[in-house]
Homo-oligomer: A and B are copies of this chain.
Amino acid sequence: MSSSQFDNVSVVKQANVYFDGRCVSHTVLLADGSRKTIGVIMPSSLTFTTGAPEVMECVAGACRVRLNGKEQWTTYAAGQSFAVPGDSSFDIVCDDAFHYVCHFE
């Protein structure tokens, strides 16, 4: 689905820090005007809320995810992705550092 890096992009120097540093990302601006974040979640159990719909692409590591309103947990590993509706939330559990790209729609 993707290479190991983004080319010909802009990247914001200041990181986005969430949950006391258990999630850290940097913002990447693509030539087509789209915005993505590349980040890592440390071993933890967290709940993220969404504004815009997003697709979480797993770059390295693995996670277990439960979307808002669902009972089922699903495991995602490197190379897999999951979509989250806008104005929603998801629970995520990571046993090791989980690296991702977040695509906004």
Per DSSP, are chain A's interface residues mostly helix, strand or loop, or mixed?
Answer: strand
Q: Is B22 a contact of A5 with CB atoms below 8 Å?
A: no
Q: What is the size, in residues, of chain A's interface with B at 8 Å between Cβ atoms?
A: 30
Copies in the complex: 2
- Write the A34-53 contact mask toward B (1 if CB under 8 angstroms, else 0): 00001110100000000000
Q: Is B17 a contact of A13 with CB atoms below 8 Å?
A: no
**Within the assembled complex, what's the spacing in Å between the Cα atoms of A101 and B13?**
7
Q: Is A38 a contact of B9 with CB atoms below 8 Å?
A: no
Q: Is A6 an interface residue (CB 8 A)?
A: yes
Q: Is A59 an interface residue (CB 8 A)?
A: yes
Q: Is A83 an interface residue (CB 8 A)?
A: no
